[in-house]
């Protein structure tokens, strides 16, 4: 049941290597492995043993648990809806520069304050 640690260190995402979904069954993985081997003859994208390692990683459940931990399935979240702001009414000028800070000025009053 022991995994080869050094293989795992340089391991790529086995789901990506074989182009299979995170939920793929054993049969689907086997098929994907054969398909990937065929394609790889043309593309030379992976080394042969990388494909084999990816297959083994996904075929053995305990290893697949580790792969799922390291490369978790992307959970599709609900796309949020745009927020409607048509009812957000704003009245008057909201430029802060028009604010008169001297509106309640008390300087003249202070002249005769004491």
Partner 1 sequence: MEILIIIIIGGIILYLVFQDKTGEKYKKGIAALQADNLDLAEQYFKEISGKHKEANSKLEEITFKRGEISENTGDLEKAYEYFSTIQRTNSQAAERLVEIDFTRGLSAKKSGDFDAAYNFFSKIASSSKKAFFEASKIDFKRGVTAEFSKTYSIAKEYYSKSLLYKDDEKIHYGSICRNLICDLKSGSLPAKNEVSEIYKSPVDEKLKNDFLYRYAVKLIKSDKLTYASEIITNKLDNSFPEVEDLGSFVSNYKKTQLKNIIQEINKSLFSEERNSLLLETLYNKIEVYKYIIEEFPEYSSSIFEIQKNLFGKLISQYISEQEFEKCLEHIISFPNFYDNIELLKNAAICCIRLALGNRISENNYKLIIAIWLTAIYNDDIFINSLETTTWDDEYTFTFGNVHIEPKEIASLGKYSSFLFDISLENINREKPSDTNIPIGGAQRELLQLFESSLNNIHPEKTNKTIHGFYMAEKGAIDRLSKTLGYDVLYCTPEFAKHFKISKNILKYLNYKYEADKSEIILDLGAKYISLAFNKTGGVQLQDSSVFEKYASSLHYLEYILDSIKAKYNYKYEDYKDVLNRYESIKIKFEEQALRILSDFAHSNDEDEKLIELMTKVFKALPTSERLGHFIADYITTYCIEKINSKSISEPKALEYLINSILVSPENHKTAKNLAIFISLNLADYTFNSKVKSLIPKLKEIESECLYDSFQMELLPLRNELKELMRKPNINYTRVSETINIIDELVNAVAPV
Q: Which two tokens stand for residue 41?
A: 């003859």
- If the CB atoms of residues 44 and 113 are measured against partner 1, the closer one turns out to be 113
Whole-number Å distance between alpha carbons of 20 and 12:
13
- If the CB atoms of residues 41 and 107 are measured against partner 1, the closer one turns out to be 107
Q: 38 Cβ partners below 8 Å, 6+ apart?
A: none
Whole-number Å distance between alpha carbons of 106 and 61:
80
Q: Which two tokens stand for residue 38?
A: 């065929």
Q: Is 27 in the site for partner 1 (CB under 8 A)?
A: no
Site for partner 1 in 83-112 (CB under 8 A): 83, 85, 88-92, 94, 96, 99-107, 109-111
Q: Which two tokens stand for residue 2?
A: 């022991």
> Interacting stretch for partner 1, rule CB under 8 A, among 6-14, 38-46, 49-57?
6-14
Whole-number Å distance between alpha carbons of 50 and 56:
10
Residue numbers of the site for partner 1 (CB under 8 A)? 1-3, 5-6, 8-9, 22-25, 61-66, 68-70, 72-75, 77-78, 80-83, 85, 88-92, 94, 96, 99-107, 109-111, 113-114
């Amino acid at each position: 049941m022991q995994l080869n640690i050094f293989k795992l260190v340089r391991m790529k995402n086995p789901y990506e290597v074989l182009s299979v979904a995170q939920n793929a069954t054993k049969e689907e993985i086997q098929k994907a492995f054969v398909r990937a081997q065929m394609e790889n003859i043309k593309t030379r994208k992976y080394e042969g043993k990388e494909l084999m390692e990816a297959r083994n990683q996904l075929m053995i459940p305990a290893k697949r648990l580790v792969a799922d931990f390291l490369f978790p399935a992307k959970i599709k979240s609900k796309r949020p809806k745009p927020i409607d702001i048509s009812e957000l009414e704003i009245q008057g000028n909201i430029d802060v520069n028009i604010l008169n800070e001297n509106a309640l000025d008390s300087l003249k009053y202070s002249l005769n304050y004491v």
